[in-house]
Structure 1
Amino acid sequence: MRRRLIQSTLAVVLVVIAVFGVSLVIVESRTISNTAQERVTLEAARLASIVDSRLVGDEPVDAQVFREQLTEDRYAVIRIPGERTVAVGAEPDGEVIRGTARGERGETVVVEEPRSTVTREVGRTLLIIALVALLAVVAAVLLAIRQANRLASPLTDLAETAERLGSGDPRPRHKRYGVPELDRVADVLDSSAERIARMLTAERRLAADASHQLRTPLTALSMRLEEITLTEDLDTVKEEATIALTQVERLTDVVERLLTNSRDPRNGSAVTFDLDDVIQQQIAEWRPAYRSAGRAIVSSGKRGLQAVGTPGAVAQVLAALIENSLMHGGGTVALRTRVTGNQAVVEVTDEGPGVPPDLGARIFERTISGRNSTGIGLAVARDLAEADGGRLELLQAKPPVFGLFLSRTPPRRAPEGEQPTVR
């Protein structure tokens, strides 16, 4: 591209120089020739007037008198009727420019000048025009190089930016070039980079959330299937299979919830449900794991509470809190229910060492963990709670008490086109 820009600019300049330069040379050559002809004609008239004045005063007309009146490169011939012809200067060789004038007494004065003087003057003029044309060509090349770099360098940068986007590096460059069209392309690429970055972040977050959220249900399901393979009691097999099917449904709900939150974390499908059912389901699923660890999991508090939310999402929040207590807590884990104002609260507590003071304010941030865990569980749990209009908080650090707050008022039916709200 640089070469094409330079070549096109240089071609335009050469055409302009050729058109105007040739015309200028022709005009200047004619002007110099005409000026030389006028010059010798005026010189002949001047000498004729001198001859007239000397003839009137009866003064002699000879070569010595007129030699001082002519320049070195000119030759003059004076013809006076009845007298001899007077020649002044050296007669030039070759072509000459001749000027003739007549006096009042009939005398004739002829002045000649070598045409080589005109040729030399035309040559000097041509040299000046050639130098100007050369300077114009050099200036045009420099300007073309500057313009080519100004246009080609941004295009190279934009190509590199597009290549980086294709290679998975979506960082916007926020670089502009002062050319509106190129700046528009840069704006579009930066906007695309930001969108791609958000998409990649959402995909990575979905993968991390799915890995964390599916691990526990799959482990519980595996334990149920192992118990089925180890027993020959048909009733036990049916009971464990029923529980396994429930856990499969929960896995399906986890996947759907993760996909929904990856698109729009506020897109909840809150309904009124029985809170005791969800709590007892979680206790039943986690009791074998706690029994294997030599610990217990119990429930207490107000019974028969109705809450507003998505049962599957609430189950995932409670599962995250229960798993967190299993991994980081100690002693008996208790799920207590109570009512505060218009909200139903589920508190999850244990007898462990609690949350370190330096993690208390950041416990729900991603990648924040008190031990060698992923630090994703509590962050996902808070997102799920907020998606249904609830909230998840750390009520007490030692012993640890986490509170899940859910509304008890049914969601208001929103007009068509609006999102439903939970009060």
Structure 2
Amino acid sequence: MRRRLIQSTLAVVLVVIAVFGVSLVIVETRTISNSAQERVDSEALRLASIVDSRILGEEHINAEILRNQVAEDRYAVIRVPGRPPIEVGIQPSGDVIHSTAKGEEGETVVVQEPRSAVTREVGRTLLIIAAVALLAIIAAVLLAVRQANRLASPLTDLAETAERLGSGDPRPRHKRYSVPELDRVADVLDSSAERIARMLTAERRLAADASHQLRTPLTALSMRLEEITLTDDPDIVKEEATIALTQVERLTDVVERLLTNARDPRTGSAVSFDLDEVIKQQLEEWRPAYRSAGRAIVSSGKRHLRAVGTPGAVAQVLAALIENSLMHGGGTVALRTRVTGNQAVVEVTDEGPGVPTDLGARIFERTISGRNSTGIGLAVARDLAEADGGRLEMLQAQPPVFGLFLSRTPLKRPPLVDEEEPTVR
């Protein structure tokens, strides 16, 4: 592109120089030639006038007297009737410019000038025109290179940006070039980069959330199936199979909720439910793991509380807190329920060292972990709690106390704007 821009600009300049340069050469050549002829004519008339004056005054006329009246590079011949011709200067050879003038006393004056002087003057003029044309060409080339770089460099940048988008680097560059058309392309690419970045973030977050939320039910399901394989008692097999089916239902609920949130995070399924049932289910699910670790998990507090939320989501929040205490805490884990205002609160605490001081409020940020874990469990738990109008907070760092706050009365959701349901591909 640079080469084409430079070549096209240079071609235009050369055409302009050719048209106007040739015309200027022709005009200047004619002007110089006419000026030389006018000078010779004027010289002849002036000499004739001088000779007339001397004849009328009966003064002596010779070459010495007229020598100062004729230019050095000119030759003049004065013919006076009845007298020999008077020659002034050296007669030029070759092509000459000449002029003849007649005086009132019958004398004839002929003035000649070599045409080489005109040729030299025309040559000087042509050199000047050529130098100006050369400067114009150099200026045109420099301007063409500058314009080519100004247009080609942004296109190269835009091509690199598009290539980065295609290679999975969606960072917008926010670079503009003071060219409206190119800036428009840059705006579109930056907008596309931001959309791609949001889509990639959402996909990665969905994958991380899915892997984390599915891990616990799958582990519990695996434990139940192992129990089935290790026993021949039909009653135990039936009991473990029932619990396994419960875990399968929980897995189904987790998957449906993940897909629902991926399509539209505003959609909720909050209902009024018995909080004791969810806590009881979590205790039964986690007691085997705690017994294996030589620890206990208990519950206390106010009973028969009803809360508003999605039972599956609340169970996942409590499971994240219980698992967090199992991995990072110590001693007995206690789930306490209480009421504050119009909210039911479930507190999860253990006897471990608590949350490190350097983590503090960042404990709910993704990738933040006190040990070698994924660092997304509490972040996912907080998102699940807030999805149905609740909230998850760290009430105390040492010993750790986490509180899940749930409303006790149904929330009035604003009506959703009718939108075309996106197609899942």
* Fold shared per TM-score above 0.5: yes
Structure 1: distance between partners of 2:57 and 2:201: 115
How far apart are residue 32 of structure 1 and its match? Answer: 0.7
Structure 2: distance between partners of 1:398 and 1:148: 66
Task: Look up the match of 1:348.
Answer: 348
Task: Look up the match of 2:67.
Answer: 67
Task: Look up the match of 1:112.
Answer: 112
How far apart are residue 409 of structure 1 and its match? Answer: 1.1
Q: Does the 8 Å contact 1:66/1:88 carry over to 2?
A: yes
Task: Look up the match of 1:404.
Answer: 404
How far apart are residue 134 of structure 1 and its match? Answer: 0.8
Greater Cα offset, 101-110 or 74-83: 74-83
Structure 2: distance between partners of 1:354 and 1:32: 104
Structure 1: distance between partners of 2:197 and 2:79: 103
Q: Does the 8 Å contact 1:272/1:307 carry over to 2?
A: yes
Task: Look up the match of 1:281.
Answer: 281
Task: Look up the match of 2:251.
Answer: 251
Structure 1: distance between partners of 2:401 and 2:418: 36
Q: TM-score, normalised by structure 1?
A: 0.93
Give the RMSD, CA atoms, in angstroms: 2.0
Structure 1: distance between partners of 2:324 and 2:232: 34
Task: Look up the match of 2:309.
Answer: 309
How far apart are residue 360 of structure 1 and its match? Answer: 3.5
Q: Does the 8 Å contact 1:265/1:383 carry over to 2?
A: no
Q: Does the 8 Å contact 1:330/1:353 carry over to 2?
A: yes
Change (3 A) 1:294 1:342: same
Task: Within 5 Å, give how 1:215-230 maps onto structure 2.
Answer: 215-230=215-230
Structure 2: distance between partners of 1:413 and 1:139: 70
Greater Cα offset, 158-167 or 28-37: 158-167
Structure 2: distance between partners of 1:398 and 1:38: 113
How far apart are residue 304 of structure 1 and its match? Answer: 2.2
How far apart are residue 226 of structure 1 and its match? Answer: 1.0
Task: Look up the match of 2:183.
Answer: 183
Structure 2: distance between partners of 1:117 and 1:353: 109
Q: Does the 8 Å contact 2:389/2:411 carry over to 1?
A: no
How far apart are residue 327 of structure 1 and its match? Answer: 1.5
How far apart are residue 232 of structure 1 and its match? Answer: 2.2
Structure 2: distance between partners of 1:82 and 1:67: 21
How far apart are residue 98 of structure 1 and its match? Answer: 1.4
Structure 2: distance between partners of 1:99 and 1:230: 136
Change (3 A) 1:285 1:49: same
Structure 2: distance between partners of 1:50 and 1:398: 127
**2:133 pairs with 1:133:** yes
Q: TM-score, normalised by structure 2?
A: 0.93
**2:23 pairs with 1:31:** no
Residue by residue over 1:35-68, the C-alpha shift from the partner in whole angstroms, topping out at 9 and shown as x without a partner, is: 1111111100000000000001111222222122
How far apart are residue 265 of structure 1 and its match? Answer: 4.5
How far apart are residue 389 of structure 1 and its match? Answer: 0.8
How far apart are residue 407 of structure 1 and its match? Answer: 0.6
AA at the equivalent of 2:175: K
Q: What is the DSSP-based 3-state SS (H/G/I as helix, E as strand, rest coil) of the residue aligned with 1:339?
A: strand
- After TM superposition, what 4+ stretches of structure 1 lie above 4 angstroms from structure 2? 262-266
How far apart are residue 263 of structure 1 and its match? Answer: 5.2
Q: Does the 8 Å contact 2:390/2:404 carry over to 1?
A: yes
Change (3 A) 1:418 1:286: farther
AA at the equivalent of 1:115: R
Q: How many percent of aligned residue pairs carry the same amino acid?
A: 86
Task: Look up the match of 1:338.
Answer: 338
AA at the equivalent of 1:211: S
**2:267 pairs with 1:271:** no
Alignment length (residue pairs): 419
Q: Does the 8 Å contact 1:266/1:388 carry over to 2?
A: no
Q: Does the 8 Å contact 1:266/1:386 carry over to 2?
A: no
Q: Does the 8 Å contact 1:271/1:411 carry over to 2?
A: no
Q: What is the DSSP-based 3-state SS (H/G/I as helix, E as strand, rest coil) of the residue aligned with 1:363?
A: helix
Structure 1: distance between partners of 2:409 and 2:55: 137
Q: What is the DSSP-based 3-state SS (H/G/I as helix, E as strand, rest coil) of the residue aligned with 2:364?
A: coil
Greater Cα offset, 91-100 or 170-179: 170-179
AA at the equivalent of 1:143: L
Structure 2: distance between partners of 1:360 and 1:166: 39
Q: What is the DSSP-based 3-state SS (H/G/I as helix, E as strand, rest coil) of the residue aligned with 1:46?
A: helix
Q: What is the DSSP-based 3-state SS (H/G/I as helix, E as strand, rest coil) of the residue aligned with 1:348?
A: strand
Task: Structure 1: state its 5+ residue gaps.
Answer: none
Greater Cα offset, 379-388 or 256-265: 256-265
How far apart are residue 312 of structure 1 and its match? Answer: 1.2
Change (3 A) 1:414 1:198: closer
Structure 1: distance between partners of 2:375 and 2:145: 56
AA at the equivalent of 1:312: G
Structure 1: distance between partners of 2:250 and 2:275: 16
Structure 1: distance between partners of 2:19 and 2:82: 57
Q: Does the 8 Å contact 1:335/1:346 carry over to 2?
A: yes
AA at the equivalent of 1:2: R
Structure 1: distance between partners of 2:350 and 2:138: 85
**2:171 pairs with 1:154:** no
Change (3 A) 1:165 1:72: same
AA at the equivalent of 2:27: V
AA at the equivalent of 2:44: A
